[in-house]
Amino acid sequence: MNAADAIHLNYEAYERQMRLFTAKGHDYASADDTLSNSKKFVKIAAALRLGDMIQAEKPEAGFLTMEIHKLIRWCNLRTQGGEPRCETLLDTTDDAMNYLRLAALALAEEATCKESLKVREEASDEQAHCEKLKPCPFCGGKARRNDKLTEGIEGVVECKECGACAFASDWNRRVKA
């Protein structure tokens, strides 16, 4: 590509971008303030403390950001009058719905992460109990604390192999020979 072609392509791109700039500007912002949508956005985001969610790295914050922009666009088109120049109001609705779906997925992912973290914690709890407990006096099997059997009385320890059980306070006691 020679320099003349490059400059020509750049001019074409500029014209294309300015057409988009004008159309989007009409749909999102007011005619007398090109930055009006962004000014509204920062006020809404501050009132909702969206920054705190971003700070906490909540992934849905990204989608809620887009949601706010879509609501601003919607209200802008309704209050300014005139037809949208880019996408229709129905497109905006569909976008807004899909951003909420994505936010819901972020919640679902968080719930899954919490669940697997809980399972891991329980597993390491059990491991910690096993390490402190002596092996089964009958079969030599590994022992574990069975909190489901306690019913609020006292911790019960059972052998994983033969099922022998005793109160936690007794499990490690052995009669000296």
CB closer to Zn ion, 59 vs 137: 137
Shortest distance, CB of residue 139 to Zn ion, whole angstroms? 3
Among 96, 103, 159, 168, binds Zn ion (CB under 5 A): 159
Per-position DSSP letters for 27-69, written without gaps between them: HHSBTTBTTHHHHHHHHHHHHTTHHHHHHTT-THHHHHHHHHH
Length of the chain: 177
CB closer to Zn ion, 72 vs 157: 157
Q: Is 162 in the site for Zn ion (CB under 5 A)?
A: yes
Shortest distance, CB of residue 144 to Zn ion, whole angstroms? 11
Structure tokens that stand for 162 in this block: 């033969």
Among 61, 72, 96, 136, binds Zn ion (CB under 5 A): 136
Q: Is 44 in the site for Zn ion (CB under 5 A)?
A: no
Whole-number Å distance between alpha carbons of 53 and 73: 23
Whole-number Å distance between alpha carbons of 115 and 118: 5
Binding site for Zn ion (CB under 5 A): 136, 138-139, 141, 159, 161-162, 164
